[in-house]
Amino acid sequence: MTDAEVQEFVTRFAAAWAARDGNAFLDFWHAEGLLHTPMVNRTIKGSELDRLMQVQTSAAPDFVWQLLDWTSRGEVVIIEWQTTRIVNGTRFDWRGVDKFRIRNGKIIEERVYCDTAPLRALRTGEALEPITKF
């Protein structure tokens, strides 16, 4: 991908998140593309991205996704992001990275990397403790 193509991809991806538009996400994906994420219980097909957005919007209607940074090499694009929402009156943020493999201008594979410990602690009501104190 050229630098201009990568920039366009990143800009469109951020705009789709800002709009929370599941159909816009479908335009990014090969039908046989796969999303691997620790946020759901199985691999998601590219053709299911609109449904995933509906589930996420229903579960967290105030969810905001922000682009922090990105880089690319060849057919690989990496995007760093932060998400925010309000939980029990308090702002809750967490960060992650998405690694995309692009084929013919569309996503063939996405892997999401994020620390799920803060989300799991939030769900159970437990305090998030560091593994190591220094």
Structural domain boundaries of the chain? 3-124
Per-residue pLDDT, 46? 86
The answer to whether 93 and 119 have CB atoms below 8 angstroms apart is no
Burial 21-60 (b: 16+ CB within 10 A, else e): ebebbbebbbeebbbebeeeeeebbbebbeebbeebeeee
Per-residue pLDDT, 27? 86
Per-residue pLDDT, 102? 95
Which CATH number is associated with domain 3-124? 3.10.450.50
Per-residue pLDDT, 117? 85
**CA 12, 14, 16 angle in degrees (round to 5)?**
70
Measure Cα distances from 29 to 49, 81, 83, 130 in Å: 9, 19, 22, 37
Task: Determine the 3-state secondary structure of 1 from DSSP.
Answer: coil
Q: What are the per-10-residue average pLDDT scores of the chain (134 residues)? A: 92 89 84 92 88 83 92 97 87 93 94 89 82 87
Distance of CA 131 to the CA centre of its chain: 25
Per-residue pLDDT, 18? 87
Strands 76-87 and 64-73: antiparallel
Per-residue pLDDT, 55? 85
